Amino acid sequence: MRVYLIALLAFAGLAVAPFGIGGYETNVLMMVLFFVILAVGLDLVTGYCGQFSFATGAFYGIGAYTAAIMTRDFNTTIWVHLPAGAIVAGLFGLLLGIPALRLKGHFLAIVTIAFQTIVYLVISQWTSFTGGQVGLPMPNAGPVTVFGVTLFEFGSLRSYYWLTLAMTALTLLISWRLVNSRLGREWVAIRDDETLASAVGLDTTRGKLTAFVAYAALAGVAGVLTAHSLRGVTPDDYTIWISATVVAMMVVGGRGTFIGPILGAVFLAILPELLGKFAEYKMLIYGVLLVLVVTLMPEGVVGRLRARAAR
Amino acid sequence: MDLFLQYMANGVVIGSTYVLVAVGLTLIFGILGVVNFAHGEFYMIGGYAGIVAITVLKLPVLPAIAFVLLVAAVVGIAAEAILHKPMKNHDATSSIISSFGLAVALQNAALVVMGPQPQRLNLDVSKIPVLSSLPTDFGPVFLPQQRLLIPIATVLLIAILYVVLRYTWTGRGLRAMAQHATVARLCGVRVERVAIVTFITGAALAGTAGMLMSSVFFVYPIVGNMIALKAFTVVILGGMGNVAGAAVAGLLLGITESLTSAYISNAMRDVVGFVFVILVLLFRPQGLFGKAVERS
Amino acid sequence: MTAPILEARGITKRFGGVVAVNDASLTVGKGQIVGLIGPNGSGKSTMVNLVSGELMPNEGTFLFNGTDITSLPSHRRARLGMARSFQLLRLFHSLSVEDNLLLANHMRMKASIAASIFGRSSAREEEQRARARARELLAWFDLQDFADRPVSALSIGQQRMVEIARGMMSEPSLFVLDEPAAGLSPPNVDKLIQLVRRLRDEFGVSILLVEHVMRVVRDLCDHVVVLDSGVKIAEGAPDAVVKDPVVIEAYIGTGWKRRAQG
């Protein structure tokens, strides 16, 4: 119960935050929330289920392009895109989960890098469908109506921020329920010892595929939100460097600790803002940080703190 | 038909670089069990080192090659110290993450130092003895000397590597490690030294490839991403740890890509290898030439 | 003999050119404790992995309660009521003792995964029942004080007991024990012998026991099968088998050869 209370307070604080800060800061906060969704999603498949993925950027992009292409071709709204992005990305997650049934460790890592690269090639080269290097623009989400009555107009920065905040709360709640359910326990069992998991009667195929789908769907949701709030998509927002950034957030915070990747995302997403003119070095810093943390503290900051508290 | 031969020749040139990069990658995996996701960056650094040596330092060709090898050796030693030595007591995922982190760091270091714009090495072939006297026309096939140099260098380097592995003490130590690390250690193979030699060899092969290719294709900070993926494709097709397999698979991939881009579409060129590799991993994880091994 | 619970018929397994198990057959009757013995490298471990479904045989069939299970993967065999322990201890090392047991009961849970995710009362009550049962079992194994501890905090002997408790948590009809006495001190071996007998007598579980320690085999087994180089060379009552010259030759012979080579 205490967890829910703390979470509630945090979200209440974040909800009123736009009244106290400027537009730029609101934008930064919104970006932090995108990364929180991505890092928590990656933690499900890698931290809990032990299946490696460097393809977060790809699923993020699939969600974003689903929204952009549906807007262009069907003129649908964000309320359609959110479930659609989750479903399309989730289906691709299922597709990538199939190799994970047979491959382990580095082989799986290579396949996910190949997948990430293929998705990038498709969105940057297939100009007639995806807009190529230029990407696709997106109009405002428009008014939100119930029975013909306009509740509020979508378009202001704050409305996107609140929507993102609500979706972050929802995805965190779902993830929390997942890792504390029977399924979440099976994921950890698969991570610890797959042979044993199978020997005690667990269906490891179902375990791995559900983890991949959950991860991909969450990244897809983050993609839809990003596409709408940035008013468009360009391929360079969904590269392997995004995947690297999210891996760094998860590893630095602590794999499989739930709160760790959230804190990692907040810290590493805000870091470039604090660096001022050194912000262009952020990927360099992420890379070095990844090497250092994984060498000196592979369990991450939260993992280390918990181990210390248990002693 | 004439064009077909030209495409084949182009494929062999590209394939040769894949072989150089992949052989180092497969050695590092076979001998040390390290999957080096930063291997493409060895290639990138070799390319930039070549450009710096020739256009900035104005070195002649042979000293320039020596400079590239020196840089590669330093990179190899550093990579071993980061990716191998401290990782012995870590699980496999940590070493994957670590080399991936190193790749990202090196790419961005290059971005800071060399800038984002693609650069190319302007090699004046006419001033280089021996090379300038090589023919460029082979019947219907035309290969400028810069390109011709690549397969020649590949054959030479692989031959040297073969002799070293086969006939020297160091080579025997390397092969012993690949067979069984613990037994090799018991027999007096100095694991630390073998590890460093292996990384230097890998970095030197990839660095040479990068330098040779920099006179044909552009070098840019993230050029290693694609090269590493190609090298992984080759290593997996050839069978992880299998040097001869990597050599054959590298040429095959180069030719396949060249023909795909000529007869199907240029956009499909890069995709074809990945589709290949995913299929191979799913249905023949031991590689095209490996034997299936199952253990109790 | 009682009706068979497990029948292995003409099992052959090859690794490349090596024949690890060659046309071996064995039967475990309901309520029986059957021993599988043999010198090092005789194919015992391979046979266990074939029985549990981690490896698939090249030839032969497995029948479990009369049904053909030859092509079933290990988790399907577990669901039919087959539990196993491992020669080299295997536990979910990042989880608590109780959670380790709980996972072995997942396959018996009837509430859907969705009900568990949404915290429906049916799923919650089912999980509470499973936890209560895990505590009961742990008490039976004298491990009740360790329920919330991570398994890595336990001694080897205690971890061995957790493994067996985990097997019992899955409500098996056949329990395959792979060298349970390995690494145990002599007093603990005595405890193990009593415990395995009680498993059979109190829970009615049939047991296939792979073992190195002869004392365990002689004290426990109703019937013993001897493998050497993957071939079944003898079977029968433990006392008779131990005196069989062919078996003595297999054990002492390889021991002598090993010393000569060393």
Is C91 part of the contact surface with chain A (CB cutoff 8 Å)? Answer: yes
Same domain? For C254 and C176 the reply is yes
Confidence at residue C262, expressed as pLDDT on a 0 to 100 scale: 40
Is C46 part of the contact surface with chain B (CB cutoff 8 Å)? Answer: yes
**What is the maximum span of chain C, computed from C-alpha positions, in angstroms?**
67
Same domain? For C104 and C73 the reply is no
Confidence at residue A17, expressed as pLDDT on a 0 to 100 scale: 83
Residues contacting C260, CB < 8 A, separation 6+: none
Mean pLDDT of the region B189-211:
88
Q: B37: which 2 tokens?
A: 């996701």
Going through chain A in order, the beta strands assigned E by DSSP cover 136-137, 142-146, 149-154, 232-233
Strand-pairing partners, residue C29, are C4
Is A118 part of the contact surface with chain B (CB cutoff 8 Å)? Answer: yes
Residues in B lying within 8 Å of A, measured between beta carbons: 35, 37, 82, 86-87, 90-94, 96-98, 100-109, 111-112, 225-226, 229, 232-233, 236, 267, 270-271, 274, 277-278, 281-282, 285
Confidence at residue C205, expressed as pLDDT on a 0 to 100 scale: 92
- For chain A, the domains span 30-246
Closest CA to A310 of C47, C162, C96, B177: C96
Using a CB-CB cut-off of 8 Å, the residues of chain A touching B265 are none
Q: CB-side exposure of A79: number of CA atoms within 13 Å?
A: 6
CB A103 within 8 A of CB A171: no
Same domain? For C140 and C213 the reply is no
Binned at pLDDT 50, 70 and 90, residue A150 comes out as: low
Tell me the count of A-B CB pairs closer than 8 A.
Answer: 120
Q: Which residue has the higher pLDDT, C247 or C163?
A: C163
What confidence tens digit (pLDDT) does each residue in C2-30 have? 788 998 899 999 887 888 888 989 999 99
Same domain? For C223 and C180 the reply is yes
Q: Which residue has the higher pLDDT, A261 or B4?
A: A261
Cα–Cα separations (whole angstroms), residue B188 to B80, B167, B168, B183: 20, 18, 15, 9
| CA-based R_g, chain C, Å | 19
Confidence at residue B170, expressed as pLDDT on a 0 to 100 scale: 75
Across the interface, whether the CB atoms of B294 and C15 are under 8 A apart is answered yes
Across the interface, whether the CB atoms of C93 and A204 are under 8 A apart is answered no
Confidence at residue A145, expressed as pLDDT on a 0 to 100 scale: 56
Q: With a cut of 80, say whether residue B191 has pLDDT above it.
A: no
Query: Residue C141 carries which DSSP code?
Result: T
Cα A57 to Cα A71: distance, rounded to the nearest angstrom: 21
Mean pLDDT of the region C62-75:
91
Strand-pairing partners, residue C63, are C7, C68
Task: Pick the residue from chain A with its C-alpha nearest to C149.
Answer: A310
Is C85 part of the contact surface with chain B (CB cutoff 8 Å)? Answer: no
Across the interface, whether the CB atoms of B87 and A289 are under 8 A apart is answered no
Using a CB-CB cut-off of 8 Å, the residues of chain B touching C15 are 293-296
Using a CB-CB cut-off of 8 Å, the residues of chain A touching B233 are 114
Task: Pick the residue from chain B with its C-alpha nearest to A118.
Answer: B271
- Chains touching chain C at 3 or more Cβ pairs under 8 angstroms? A, B
Mean pLDDT of the region A4-11:
86
Across the interface, whether the CB atoms of A99 and B107 are under 8 A apart is answered no
Task: Pick the residue from chain A with its C-alpha nearest to B277.
Answer: A111
Q: CB-side exposure of B197: number of CA atoms within 13 Å?
A: 19
What confidence tens digit (pLDDT) does each residue in A258-275 have? 999 999 999 988 888 888
Interface test with A, best of C87, C89, C92, C131 (most A CBs within 10 A): C92
Binned at pLDDT 50, 70 and 90, residue C219 comes out as: confident
Closest CA to A34 of A213, A167, A158, A177: A167
Same domain? For C110 and C213 the reply is no
Same domain? For C259 and C150 the reply is no
Fold of B2-122+137-283: ABC transporter involved in vitamin B12 uptake, BtuC (1.10.3470)
Mean pLDDT of the region C139-161:
87
What confidence tens digit (pLDDT) does each residue in A204-224 have? 999 999 999 999 999 999 999
Cα B208 to Cα B205: distance, rounded to the nearest angstrom: 5
Confidence at residue B245, expressed as pLDDT on a 0 to 100 scale: 85
Task: Pick the residue from chain C with its C-alpha nearest to A210.
Answer: C113
The alpha-carbon gap from B291 to the nearest alpha carbon of chain C, in Å, equals 9
Cα B45 to Cα C242: distance, rounded to the nearest angstrom: 68
CB A250 within 8 A of CB A68: no
Q: C71: which 2 tokens?
A: 């092509």
- Chains touching chain A at 3 or more Cβ pairs under 8 angstroms? B, C
Query: Residue B265 carries which DSSP code?
Result: -
Q: With a cut of 60, say whether residue C256 has pLDDT above it.
A: no
Confidence at residue C259, expressed as pLDDT on a 0 to 100 scale: 47
Cα C70 to Cα C77: distance, rounded to the nearest angstrom: 10
Q: With a cut of 50, say whether residue B59 has pLDDT above it.
A: yes
Q: With a cut of 60, say whether residue C258 has pLDDT above it.
A: no
Closest CA to C227 of C89, C34, C67, C57: C34
| CA-based R_g, chain B, Å | 19
The secondary structure element, H or E, covering residue C174 is strand C174-178
Residue C235 belongs to what domain range? 1-81+172-262
Same domain? For C259 and C176 the reply is yes
Interface test with B, best of C14, C15, C93 (most B CBs within 10 A): C15
Q: CB-side exposure of C26: number of CA atoms within 13 Å?
A: 32
Q: B15: which 2 tokens?
A: 């394939």
Q: With a cut of 50, say whether residue B295 has pLDDT above it.
A: no
Same domain? For C67 and C179 the reply is yes
Cα–Cα separations (whole angstroms), residue B214 to B73, B104, B120, B146, B150: 19, 21, 6, 10, 11
Is C148 part of the contact surface with chain A (CB cutoff 8 Å)? Answer: no
Residue C49 lies in a domain: yes
Starting at the earlier edge strand, list the strands of the sheet with C206-210: C82-84, C174-178, C206-210, C33-37, C223-228, C231-236
Q: A67: which 2 tokens?
A: 């929204």
Among C141, C171, C201, identify where a domain stops: C171
Cα C113 to Cα C117: distance, rounded to the nearest angstrom: 6
CB A36 within 8 A of CB A262: yes
Mean pLDDT of the region B186-203:
84
Cα–Cα separations (whole angstroms), residue C31 to C6, C48, C208, C218, C220: 11, 19, 10, 17, 12
Binned at pLDDT 50, 70 and 90, residue A153 comes out as: low
Across the interface, whether the CB atoms of A281 and B102 are under 8 A apart is answered no
Q: CB-side exposure of B148: number of CA atoms within 13 Å?
A: 15
The alpha-carbon gap from A33 to the nearest alpha carbon of chain C, in Å, equals 24
Task: Pick the residue from chain B with its C-alpha nearest to C21.
Answer: B296
Confidence at residue A154, expressed as pLDDT on a 0 to 100 scale: 61
Query: Residue B54 carries which DSSP code?
Result: I
Cα C6 from chain centroid (whole Å): 13
End-to-end CA distance of chain B: 52
Is C51 part of the contact surface with chain B (CB cutoff 8 Å)? Answer: no
Q: What percent of chain C has pLDDT over 90?
A: 34
Same domain? For C129 and C110 the reply is yes
Confidence at residue A148, expressed as pLDDT on a 0 to 100 scale: 57
Same domain? For C103 and C52 the reply is no
Among C139, C171, C203, identify where a domain stops: C171
Across the interface, whether the CB atoms of A188 and C109 are under 8 A apart is answered no
Task: Pick the residue from chain B with its C-alpha nearest to C45.
Answer: B296
Across the interface, whether the CB atoms of C106 and A201 are under 8 A apart is answered yes
Q: Which of B291, B294, B296 sits opposite C45 (nearest CB)?
A: B296
Cα C55 to Cα C251: distance, rounded to the nearest angstrom: 26
Q: With a cut of 70, say whether residue A141 has pLDDT above it.
A: no
Among C122, C144, C171, identify where a domain stops: C171
Same domain? For C18 and C54 the reply is yes
Instruction: Name the domain count of chain C.
Output: 2
Across the interface, whether the CB atoms of B295 and C49 are under 8 A apart is answered no
Cα C209 to Cα C220: distance, rounded to the nearest angstrom: 9
The alpha-carbon gap from C49 to the nearest alpha carbon of chain B, in Å, equals 8
Helices marked H in chain B = 2-32, 39-51, 61-83, 92-114, 145-167, 169-179, 181-186, 191-213, 223-238, 243-263, 269-283
The alpha-carbon gap from C73 to the nearest alpha carbon of chain A, in Å, equals 8
Across the interface, whether the CB atoms of A298 and B91 are under 8 A apart is answered yes
Is B291 part of the contact surface with chain C (CB cutoff 8 Å)? Answer: yes
Task: Pick the residue from chain A with its C-alpha nearest to C49.
Answer: A199
Q: A63: which 2 tokens?
A: 């969600």
Using a CB-CB cut-off of 8 Å, the residues of chain B touching C16 are 291, 293
Binned at pLDDT 50, 70 and 90, residue B84 comes out as: confident
Is C55 part of the contact surface with chain B (CB cutoff 8 Å)? Answer: yes
Confidence at residue B74, expressed as pLDDT on a 0 to 100 scale: 95
Q: What percent of chain A has pLDDT over 90?
A: 43
Cα B224 to Cα B245: distance, rounded to the nearest angstrom: 22
Which residues 102-121 of C are in CB contact (within 8 Å) with A? 102-104, 106-107, 109, 113, 116-119
